[in-house]
C-alpha cells in the first residue's frame, strides 16, 4: 500500500483543483488512474484536562501506526488553567506529535480563554443545557461560539488563541475546528479574516445521535448550522478568496469522532465512501477520552486497509 501526503497547506483552494486524489478515467489518453481515498485523522484537544492515560494511549497509537499523520487541533486553554504547570503541559502535548503531523486550532469558549483574550464572556447558548455561569474555576466549554459571540469578538478570540499557541512554541495554525461543531457565517468570516484556510466544523448531526438525543441542544444547533450535511459530503469552498484573504475550504467531519462511532460504524462509513467513489474521509477523536475511544479507530484501521485492497482503492493518510 502506498501512502501519500498532500502538500498544499498554503493554498487550500488549489488543493481542491490540483492536489486531491483522482477517481476518474482519463478519456483523452486512455490511461486509467487508480481510485483513491484520503483519510484525515484529527485530534480535538478540548482544553479540559491532560491525563497520563490519554497521553499514553495516543503515544501507543503513534507507535503502532507511525505512517499515519494526525491533524492536531490544539486548544490553548490548557495553558491558562491555574492548576496546570505550563511547561509540563506543553511537553505532554508535544509528546504525542510525529514529524508529519499538522498543528491546527480548536476553540471552546472557556471563560479563562475568553477573558484572557479580552473578549466579554457569554454564558448563554450552551449546546448541552449546562449552566455556564461561574464565579470561580472555569466554565464555558459548551457555549456555542456561533450563537453566543459576535463576528468581531470571534475575530479577536481566534487571533488571540492562535497567538497564544505560537508564543508557547507551537506552529502557527491555519486549520480549525469549532468546539461542538458550532460554526456558522460569523465564525467563518472570522476564520477567513485571520488567515485560516481549512475548516472541519461541519457535520451531519445524525452522527451525534449515538450519544445525544434528537431534542438535545447540540443536535438542534448542529442541524440548523449544517443543513444538508451527510456522511458522504466532500470538501468545498466555504469562503471565496478576495484581495486580502485566501479562500477558506470546508472539509466536513463526515465520519465524526471515535467518541460517537464504534469500530463497526467507522468501517461502515469508510465502506460507503468507497462504494460511492468519494475521495475524502475526515474522522478523529478527543484527547480527553483517547484511552476510552481511540481503540475504536485502532481496530478499524486494519479492516479499512482490507476493504481498500479488495476494492482496488489506494488508501492515503493525510494531515493537511
Q: How many domains are there within the chain?
A: 1
229: number of CA atoms within 13 Å, CB side? 26
- Whether pLDDT at 19 is above 60: no
3 in a domain, yes or no? Answer: no
| Higher pLDDT among residues 9 and 232, named by residue | 232
266 in a domain, yes or no? Answer: no
15 in a domain, yes or no? Answer: no
Whole-number Å distance between alpha carbons of 273 and 281: 8
For 165, phi and psi rounded to 5 degrees?
A: -65, -45
pLDDT (average), residues 81-103: 96
Mean per-residue pLDDT of the chain: 92
187 in a domain, yes or no? Answer: yes
Name the grid cell of 223: 442541524
Report which of 283, 235, 226 is spatially closest to residue 256, judged by C-alpha positions.
283
pLDDT (average), residues 172-180: 98
pLDDT level of residue 33 (50, 70, 90 thresholds): low
257 in a domain, yes or no? Answer: yes
2 in a domain, yes or no? Answer: no
pLDDT number for residue 238: 98
pLDDT (average), residues 186-194: 98
- Strand-pair partners of 313: 35
pLDDT number for residue 183: 98
- Whether pLDDT at 26 is above 90: no
Hunting for cell 503541559 — which residue is that? 89
Proportion of the chain above pLDDT 70, given as a percent: 90
pLDDT number for residue 115: 98
Q: Report how far apart, in Å, the C-alpha atoms of 85 and of each of 43, 79, 80, 159, 160 are.
A: 22, 8, 9, 24, 21
11 in a domain, yes or no? Answer: no
Sequence-ordered list of residues with C-beta below 8 angstroms from that of 309, at least 6 positions apart, any chain: 1
Question: Could you tell me if residue 251 is left (phi over 0), alpha (psi between -120 and 50 degrees) or otherwise beta?
Answer: beta
Name the grid cell of 22: 483522482
Sequence-ordered list of residues with C-beta below 8 angstroms from that of 205, at least 6 positions apart, any chain: 218, 219, 222, 223, 226, 229
pLDDT number for residue 21: 40
pLDDT level of residue 34 (50, 70, 90 thresholds): confident
DSSP string, 223-247: HHHTTT--TT---EEEE---SS---
Range with the poorest average pLDDT among 32-36, 71-75, 101-105, 232-236: 32-36
Domain region containing 114 = 47-261+272-318
| Secondary structure letter of residue 42 according to DSSP | E
Whole-number Å distance between alpha carbons of 145 and 218: 12
pLDDT number for residue 220: 98
- Whether pLDDT at 22 is above 70: no
pLDDT number for residue 16: 44
- Whether pLDDT at 64 is above 90: yes
- The CATH number of the domain holding residue 60 is 3.20.20
Tens of pLDDT, residue by residue over 211-230, are: 999 999 999 999 999 999 99
pLDDT number for residue 82: 87
- Whether pLDDT at 62 is above 70: yes
- Whether pLDDT at 180 is above 60: yes
pLDDT (average), residues 47-63: 98
pTM equals 0.91
pLDDT (average), residues 110-128: 98
Sequence-ordered list of residues with C-beta below 8 angstroms from that of 183, at least 6 positions apart, any chain: 145, 146, 199, 201, 202, 225
- Whether pLDDT at 7 is above 70: no
Residue 43 is inside which H or E element, if any?
strand 35-44
- Whether pLDDT at 38 is above 70: yes
Whole-number Å distance between alpha carbons of 53 and 61: 12
Q: How many CB atoms lie within 10 A of CB 314?
A: 18
CB–CB of 292/257 below 8 Å? no
16 in a domain, yes or no? Answer: no
pLDDT (average), residues 290-295: 98
Name the grid cell of 263: 469500530
pLDDT (average), residues 283-312: 98
Hunting for cell 457555549 — which residue is that? 143
Amino acid at each position: 500500500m502506498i501512502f501519500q501526503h498532500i502538500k498544499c497547506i498554503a493554498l487550500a483552494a488549489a488543493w481542491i483543483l490540483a492536489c486531491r486524489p483522482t477517481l476518474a478515467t482519463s478519456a483523452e489518453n486512455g490511461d486509467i488512474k487508480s481510485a483513491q481515498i484520503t483519510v484525515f485523522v484529527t485530534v480535538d484537544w478540548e482544553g479540559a484536562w491532560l491525563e497520563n492515560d490519554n497521553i499514553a494511549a495516543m503515544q501507543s497509537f503513534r507507535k503502532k501506526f507511525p505512517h499515519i499523520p494526525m491533524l492536531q487541533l490544539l486548544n490553548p486553554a490548557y495553558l491558562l488553567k491555574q492548576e496546570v504547570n505550563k511547561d509540563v503541559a506543553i511537553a505532554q502535548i508535544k509528546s504525542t506529535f510525529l514529524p508529519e503531523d499538522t498543528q491546527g486550532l480548536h476553540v471552546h469558549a472557556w471563560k479563562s480563554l475568553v477573558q484572557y483574550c479580552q473578549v466579554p464572556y457569554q454564558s448563554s447558548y450552551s449546546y448541552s443545557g449546562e449552566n455556564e455561569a461561574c464565579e470561580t474555576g472555569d466554565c464555558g466549554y459548551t457555549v456555542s461560539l456561533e450563537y453566543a459571540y459576535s463576528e468581531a469578538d470571534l475575530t479577536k478570540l481566534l487571533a488571540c488563541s492562535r497567538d497564544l499557541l505560537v508564543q508557547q512554541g507551537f506552529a502557527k495554525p491555519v486549520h480549525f475546528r469549532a468546539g461542538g461543531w458550532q460554526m456558522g457565517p460569523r465564525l467563518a468570516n472570522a476564520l477567513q479574516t485571520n488567515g485560516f484556510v481549512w475548516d472541519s466544523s461541519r457535520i451531519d448531526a445524525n452522527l451525534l445521535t449515538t450519544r445525544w438525543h434528537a431534542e438535545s441542544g447540540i443536535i438542534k444547533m448542529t442541524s440548523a448550522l449544517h443543513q444538508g450535511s451527510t456522511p458522504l459530503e466532500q470538501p468545498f469552498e466555504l469562503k471565496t478568496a478576495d484581495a486580502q484573504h485566501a479562500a477558506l475550504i470546508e472539509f466536513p467531519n463526515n465520519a465524526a469522532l471515535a467518541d460517537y462511532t464504534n469500530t463497526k460504524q467507522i468501517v461502515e462509513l469508510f465502506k460507503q465512501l468507497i462504494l460511492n467513489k468519494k475521495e475524502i474521509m475526515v474522522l478523529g477523536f478527543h484527547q480527553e477520552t483517547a484511552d476510552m475511544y481511540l481503540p475504536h479507530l485502532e481496530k478499524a484501521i486494519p479492516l479499512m486497509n482490507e476493504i481498500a485492497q479488495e476494492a482496488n482503492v489506494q488508501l492515503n493518510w493525510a494531515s493537511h
